[in-house]
A and B are shown apart, each in its own frame.
Chain A
């Protein structure tokens, strides 16, 4: 097994290779504005570090968000196209699940990432592998009460300390933890999700108002 995992749903552009036992190479760069430019060179670097070519990969794993759409699509489009070109399966994993797995907290906790517009993408977990609520997108103040007292992981939690009193890292997801989680689930015979984006919001689409009346009244 050789999994290529990537995630572009947070400001991190992250890529990892996992051989079923361990992560053999990984890359993480934080630059919310350059996902499109950074991803392919990162894949190339990770493969070179591991001394393999892309066609050695047996499956691709992509973080499906939720996350800012433009960046999120870079990873998903790349993963899906690799899958088609190589003839290998492409699996999706919730980006927040990768963060939860990396946090490794036993017991109840929250993962929250920055959804901008003063909102967070969040989900609740009971242990590092079990999501119990979400993912959803909300204003931190609106969910603070129901999540009070829980440890909160991720940049979205760190950004709103008044709503998440026990905020902590990691800030962003790493493809290494996504890959490890995917490897674990695949080894257990679990089905992973399809690589479909979790947008959680409808597109902003302003219906243009009736044409502008140009005759002065």
Chain B
């Protein structure tokens, strides 16, 4: 039998946005991935409403933990640790998960690992394709993030290569879907219409792709404005808006830039693996174009199945298991929910376990602002 340090049994809790996720893994093996989503409650608002999400997390948490344990067929007593998303994310939503994880770990006498949401998005691929190659280049794209990250050790070294300077990629999908009256969230529906449209019908701008632009940063705000303006012009002219062609052309502009920059980063850094995660990784055109360009460049592409790309508890458990396996310091009982936890902190080690933890960034604990109601 494997030593439990090599194959630690870890429960992970994720509440950074609108999904209440509880996952259980044994090492790199997925045992359970229980999710309760409040997405339907947000749909009529056209975006995630923080207070609605926080209320839903509180209601869903314990039933989701119990469902995950049942699904995994393990006893809570046998867990080697409890991991939880400590940030970044919505402050009030994170705090529900952190409170639950602390109470659970304390009651069971297990170590607690507050981990980084973005590093978890990368680490989840271990459940699909085995141990992460080191180093790994990761492109994370969702409604909340668009980042290009390079990691040589997912528990200790995550370096930001580039990020969006305005909207997240998924946000652009949501906004364009709203302009086209296609509802929320926008990603899946635009993907569907785009399949029947011509990606070259309209040439929309590719943000930050000029010779003097930052090589790995993204910008989707200009694209969004340009697409909206194009649609309005059609409407003002009394013409029908070709929803399929607009969807396909918009989507092509997004995934063209994402894949072009990701492949370039791999080449520049001499990295022969690219992983793509986050909700937008479920986009069929992104997957296809990334596959094509990676093949041409001799890069191995790793994309987890869609359910593991969106926010879930399994990804948190996956990173927690890696923390246990690599003997990283557990978090303290006064662990904070940190809405702006920097991507360079894969986890939040406790003071009791390490020397003064250099927290170099000048972040604000959002919970400490005057926003107890949100």
Stretch at the interface among A37-45, A91-99, A182-190: A37-45
Across the interface, do A85 and B96 meet the contact criterion of CB distance under 8 Å?
Answer: no
A76 to B232, CA, bound (A): 48
Across the interface, do B107 and A85 meet the contact criterion of CB distance under 8 Å?
Answer: yes
From A40, A44, A211, contact of B175 by CB (8 A): A211
A52 at the interface (CB under 8 A from B): no
Q: Mark A179-211, 1 if CB is under 8 A from B, else 0.
A: 000000000000000000101000111111001
Which chain A residues border B102 with CB–CB below 8 Å?
40, 78
A151 at the interface (CB under 8 A from B): no
Supposing A54-B107, A77-B100 touch, asked if A214 and B62 sit within 8 A by C-beta, the answer is no
A86 to B335, CA, bound (A): 22
Supposing A81-B62, A204-B51, A215-B232 touch, asked if A36 and B98 sit within 8 A by C-beta, the answer is yes
Across the interface, do A44 and B106 meet the contact criterion of CB distance under 8 Å?
Answer: yes
- Chain A residue at minimum C-beta to C-beta distance from B232: A215
Stretch at the interface among A66-74, A126-134, A138-146, A162-170: A66-74
Binding site of B, secondary structure by majority: helix, strand, loop or mixed?
Answer: helix
Q: How large is the interface on B (under 10, 10 to 19, 20 to 34, 35 or more residues)?
A: 35 or more
Which chain A residues border B334 with CB–CB below 8 Å?
37-38, 40-41
- Chain B residue at minimum C-beta to C-beta distance from A47: B106
A116 to B95, CA, bound (A): 20
Across the interface, do A214 and B99 meet the contact criterion of CB distance under 8 Å?
Answer: no
List, sorted by A's number, 19 A–B pairs whose CB atoms are closer than 8 Å: A36-B95, A37-B335, A38-B334, A39-B99, A40-B102, A69-B51, A70-B95, A73-B54, A73-B58, A81-B65, A84-B104, A85-B107, A197-B55, A204-B373, A205-B49, A207-B45, A211-B175, A211-B178, A212-B228
Given contacts A69-B374, A85-B104, 19 further A-B contacts (CB under 8 A): A33-B368, A33-B372, A36-B98, A36-B337, A36-B367, A37-B334, A37-B335, A40-B333, A54-B106, A70-B54, A70-B373, A78-B100, A83-B62, A85-B76, A203-B49, A203-B51, A206-B45, A208-B47, A215-B233
9 closest Cβ contacts across the A-B interface?
Answer: A85-B107, A203-B51, A68-B372, A81-B103, A77-B99, A40-B333, A33-B368, A205-B49, A78-B103
